[in-house]
Amino acid sequence: MRKQYLLRLFSVLALVFLVFACSSSRKAARSPEGKLMNALEQWKGTPYVLGGTNRSGIDCSAFVQVVMRSEFGINLPRTTADQLGVGIRVRRSRLRAGDLVFFQTGRTTRHVGIMVNRKEFLHASTSSGPMISSLDERYWSQRYMRARRVM
């Protein structure tokens, strides 16, 4: 009788442990950072193609549009210029995961990405496709324009 009680108690404790372990890992995967890392894994290796909108090739604004829709249910315009007009302006010192960041990469060329944390952003790079870069990198720091909060 005592063995059955201990076995049942152990089974209940093991079940409780599994439930809490699974719920905490699911919670982490549902965080904005987790969703963005998931998107990176799904899109890694996709080449940058100006005007591209799918896994055969994608540009920065289409990548941001697709990721924000699939991971957060947020519909954004297709182009970087139009994405600049959505949401509310955010100071660089107040950036957080999910904020859109914009860069002036040429006289008339702009680039957009999604903040993963306070320093790094996810974007479709012209040289490497979807990747994470740091705002502290000299290239990006010198070209930073502004940020918009859409969620």
Task: Write down the pLDDT at residue 30.
Answer: 83
- Cβ neighbors of 74 (< 8 A, separation 6 or more) are 68, 150, 151
60, 64, 67, 100: which one is catalytic?
Answer: 60
Q: The whole model's pTM is what?
A: 0.81
- Minimal CA–CA distance to 31: which of 72, 91, 88, 67? 72
100 is catalytic: no
Q: What is the DSSP letter of 107?
A: S
- pLDDT at residue 32 is higher than 60: yes
123 is catalytic: yes
111, 114, 115, 147: which one is catalytic?
Answer: 111
**Other CB atoms within 10 A of residue 78 CB:** 14
Task: Write down the pLDDT at residue 8.
Answer: 59
- As given in the structure block, the two tokens for residue 14 are 């093991």
- pLDDT at residue 88 is higher than 70: yes
- Cβ neighbors of 84 (< 8 A, separation 6 or more) are 102, 110, 146, 148
Task: Write down the pLDDT at residue 1.
Answer: 59
58, 71, 113, 123: which one is catalytic?
Answer: 123
How far apart CA 148 and CA 136 sit, in angstroms, is: 18
- pLDDT at residue 54 is higher than 60: yes
22 is catalytic: no
Asked if 48 and 26 count as a contact pair (C-beta separation under 8 A), the reply is: no
- pLDDT at residue 21 is higher than 80: no
